Amino acid sequence: MKAKIIIGGVVVVLGIALAAMNFLESNVEYADFATAQKTHKKVQVKGEWVKEQSSSFDPSKVKFSFYMKDDAQRVVKVVLDGAKPNNFELATSVVAKGKFVDGEFQATEILTKCPSKYEGTSEAVKKTL
């Protein structure tokens, strides 16, 4: 009986330790472009879309590229693996997940944050009057 408990306990502790390691590894940290360039690790960068500079979609490579300004005011070209995200025009801020490669940020995923619901609805309520 005792042996069973000890073996069970060891397995459980090991499992939890592995899971914890996995958890820390899988966490994608926030960073700015400067740190992303230094570390070359997968990070997420928060910033805003610089609409003045050209953005384009390349149908042959299925890549959408645009310029993004991070919170440290640095502007970098972001190349997204995919099409222009939904609600991109509306987004007040953009979070790009990816890596820094050859002077540009290669993103695998982009999250867009739309204006807060309250502001949005106040406009909308006037529209539907």
Site residues for another protein per CB under 8 A: 4, 15, 18-19, 22-23, 25-30, 44, 53-54, 56-57, 59-60, 62, 65, 67, 75, 77, 82-84, 86-87, 89-90, 95, 102-103, 111, 113-114, 117, 121-122, 124-126, 128-129
> Measured from the CB of residue 96, what is the shortest distance to another protein in angstroms?
13
> Measured from the CB of residue 56, what is the shortest distance to another protein in angstroms?
5
Do the beta carbons of residue 51 and residue 67 sit within 8 Å? no
**What is the C-alpha R_g of the chain?**
21
Do the beta carbons of residue 69 and residue 80 sit within 8 Å? no
Q: How far apart, in whole angstroms, are the C-alpha atoms of residue 104 and residue 76? A: 6
Helices (H), 64-116: none
> Measured from the CB of residue 64, what is the shortest distance to another protein in angstroms?
9
Q: How far apart, in whole angstroms, are the C-alpha atoms of residue 129 and residue 124? A: 9
Tokens found for residue 100: 């820094």
* Nearest CB to another protein, comparing residues 84 and 99: 84
> Measured from the CB of residue 16, what is the shortest distance to another protein in angstroms?
8
Q: How far apart, in whole angstroms, are the C-alpha atoms of residue 13 and residue 80? A: 40
* Nearest CB to another protein, comparing residues 2 and 27: 27
